Amino acid sequence: MRSGYSRILVSAALLGLLLVTTMSSSIANPPNDQRTIEQRVVELLADMTLAEKIGQMNQVNASDEDMPHHLQEAIKAGRVGSILNQVNVDTVNELQRIAVEESRLGIPLLVGRDVIHGFKTVMPIPLGQAATWNPDIVRAGAQVAAREAATTGINWTFAPMIDISRDPRWGRIAESLGEDPYLASELAVAMVEGFQGDDLTDAGTIAATAKHFAGYGASESGRDYATVNIPENELRNVYFPPFKAAVDAGVVSLMAAFSDLDGVPATGNRFLMRDVLRDEWNFSGFVVSDWDSVRQLAIHGLTANDKESVYEAVTAGVDMEMAGQSYVDHLEALVDEGRIDVAMIDAMVANILRAKFRLGLFENPYTDPKALPPIANEHALETARKAALQSAVLLKNDHGVLPLSAKKLNSVAVIGPLADAPYEQLGTWIFDGDRELSITPMHAIHSLVGHNVDVRYLRAMDNSRSRASKAFDEAAEMARGSDAVLLFLGEESILSGEAHSRADINLPGDQAELVRRIREAGKPVIAVILAGRPLTLTNIVDRVDAILFAWHPGTMGGPAIADLLFGIESPSGKLPVTFPRMVGQIPIYYSQKRTGKPPSPDTVVLIDDIDAHAPQLSTGMTAYHLDAGYTPLFPFAYGLSYAEFDYQRIRASAREIRPGDTIRISAELTNKGDVAADEIVQLYIRDLVGNVTRPVRELKGFKRLRLEPGQTVTVDFDLHTDDLAFAGRDMQLMTEPGEFHAWIGGSSETELRTEFRIIDSD
Ligand code: BGC
């Protein structure tokens, strides 16, 4: 009786669904054969029992090397829609065979895995990839990762992670694309395109997941999993845009965040997943919970038990439960009791089935690794090298100490715990990353210049956290006897990533002391920093001549760093996130609001300058810290080059435009240096008066361009008035008439400005 009843509801619900998806103009909806997929979904759903539907909503951890009997039985019984963490292709093929041949309806499995920044060949951490400001290399990196992962039968990754991250204490900032909604959106789309390709049925493409919806990056004090409070207006203007962009790019799935958002944990948050994601954005893919995050709703204190957690998660719109089993345990009862309508289940299962059809799994669920390119092939390694090369950010280069000249040096000391650490350079989230493939900086420097430069190496510290300074004398001695010192500092991969937040983001252990000792040797000191987050470098910045910030650069980090240090290539990365002077400034980001008392250089009185005789009169009464001022150590989008870029003649194509118009902002860029190099040209705007206050600057465009010495180019950015829209007080997108400033330059602090105005259409 239940199945007859549900059949009628299925048809009604699915017809509605079909209409919604066909009517929507969003590119989130698969093109062309959409009707066919929808019809197949409808037909399949009509044949499913409630238990089989709930089975589709269940994702099971299958990480055991051998296939446990109970997993095989559950798949056979149609109780599993997806597995995760199985990477043996024979096992995956066998589990698919059981699903399609031995289960009643033969529905293939989604096979998930965290392929975050590479599979065997590891790209820089996503934050490093964001420093490339290069959607093409980011797309290529994801494509390489997808092809390698697909050899094991994986057809779905839990990436990209696109939580806006403005707190470097948060360990997961490493996985993010940084602090800026525009940059993160552009790169999120590139990653989705890289994983998913043009057609998900193509070999070597895998479904992507935009995660974690939403606000996870704003965990209080950067402590992972901690509470998040973000007002709706900020959610819409800052945290949502990358997700909206990923949805518009056709991302197959979204993952709900672990965190509590304004009192309602994301996994039980109807506003996020029903009101915004489905009703406003017309998302037709599916939402997966985070690991056991459904049952955690009770631990949060939102519900009293697992059953109520299931009720909240399902009604909020979490289509699939990851690793928790509580849907399987409680959902049927909730439907029987009439608390959850089977039509809701049908729509959710349809979201999952649609993904399986889009992936072509019903046509071929099996994987033949030989049909895919070999792992770590030349193209993969070259992509990783290029990404690492473009991700490194030159933060300081006094007197042009870099690049080093192999011709002029007799010897170089390579010192530090991260110079030759093949695993550590890969960074966080590399379940499958192959450390055997890593080429370390020490090895790469040897191969690049070892034939005519004496390259000496001393680790000096066991690891970045070591407090034992007994090797420091030897290190100082080596520095004294060498022409230059390359000091490889930072933090190991274990110090960032999930559940690896830090409250102190100075260089850990005795590294600052090592810098002090090396400095005393009196030789040029170049610090190369490998890390998963911005670090507060205030205590070393004046003690070194140059700083190259290389993030965790991945498999090919060594050759990329060597090429940059010795001038084969110029550094070209720019910071995707602001570097604070000290931790108390966090959150510090370039697109802050102006405040009613904006600070300026002439209002700042620092702690040491307070007038001892009239302390009450001393401060400038503006928004700054007495001990840190208001500026960061290095601003967003900052990064030096071996070339010298000069920006001139900014202009707007019109003084006034009307809603619906496009304006062109352009400037001239010249390479005044003597080497060819890439520059990342950026466009910022400020909307001077807003229905809600607007940031002092907002990134609205960027281009990575290569210029030969002496070359001048005109760089154009076209801005439509829609590009200037923001969510106003009523949370609707609006572009207001009024004054705008526009800047073009090489960092968020560029001063080259023009103005324009939007006037009313009537
Ligand atoms: C993380 C997710 C990840 C999942 C599966 C969770 O702990 O928050 O980002 O995709 O585990 O590994």
Ligand 1 centroid to 315 CA: how many Å?
22
Can you tell me which residue has the tokens 């059809």?
A: 357
What DSSP string runs through 322-369?
Answer: ES--HHHHHHHHHHHTTSS-HHHHHHHHHHHHHHHHHTTTTT-----G
In terms of DSSP bridges, do strands 733-734 and 726-727 run parallel, antiparallel, or are they unpaired?
Answer: antiparallel
H or E stretch at 299: helix 296-300
* Per-residue confidence (pLDDT) for residue 499, from 0 to 100: 98
In 3D space, the residue among 671, 665, 667, 681 whose CA is nearest the CA of residue 646 turns out to be: 671
CA end-to-end span of the chain, whole Å? 62
Looking at the chain, the whole-number percentage of residues with pLDDT higher than 70 is 95
pLDDT (0 to 100) of residue 19: 38
Structure tokens at 547: 């700083």
pLDDT of residue 618: 66
- How far apart are alpha carbons 325 and 323 in whole angstroms? 6
pLDDT, tens only, 628-682: 999 999 999 999 999 999 999 999 999 999 999 999 999 999 999 999 999 999 9
DSSP string, 389-448: HHH-EEEEEGGG-PSP-TTT-SEEEEESTTSS-TTGGG-S--SS--GGG---HHHHHHHH
The whole-angstrom separation of Cα 351 and Cα 349 is 5
pLDDT value of position 711: 98
Q: From ligand 1's centre to the CA of 132, what distance in Å?
A: 25
Closest CA to 138 of 195, 85, 77: 195
> What is the tens place of the pLDDT at every residue in 344-402?
999 999 999 999 999 999 999 999 999 999 999 999 999 999 999 999 999 999 999 99
At 310-349, the pLDDT tens digits run 999 999 999 999 999 999 999 999 999 999 999 999 999 9
Ligand 1 atom nearest to 85, measured from its CA: 12
Q: Which residues line ligand 1 (CB under 6 A)?
A: 114, 158, 211, 290-291, 498
pLDDT tens-digit map of 560-616? 999 999 999 999 999 999 999 999 999 999 999 999 999 999 999 999 888 888 766
The pLDDT of residue 619: 75
- Which one from 167, 180, 290, 687 is the annotated catalytic residue? 290
More confident of the two residues 576 and 9:
576
Measured by CA distance, the residue closest to atom 2 of ligand 1 is: 290
Strands 253-256 and 286-288: parallel
* Per-residue pLDDT at 615: 67
- Calpha distance 533→436 (Å, rounded): 24
Q: What letter would DSSP give residue 178?
A: -
Can 290 be counted among the known catalytic residues? Answer: yes
Given a contact cutoff of 8 angstroms between Cβ atoms, the answer to whether 403 and 566 are in contact is yes
**Confidence check: pLDDT of 13 > 90:** no
Tens of pLDDT along 243-293? 999 999 999 999 999 999 999 999 999 999 999 999 999 999 999 999 999
Spell out the residues 6+ positions from residue 47 whose beta carbon is closer than 8 angstroms to its own.
105
For position 616, what pLDDT does the model report?
Answer: 66
The residue whose two tokens read 């510090």 is 588
Is 24's pLDDT higher than 60? Answer: no
β-bridge mates for residue 687, sequence order: 740
Q: Mean of the pLDDT values across residues 195-207?
A: 98
Using alpha carbons only, give the angle 470, 475, 478 rounded to the nearest 5 degrees: 145
339 phi/psi in degrees, rounded to 5: -85, -30
The structure's pTM equals 0.95
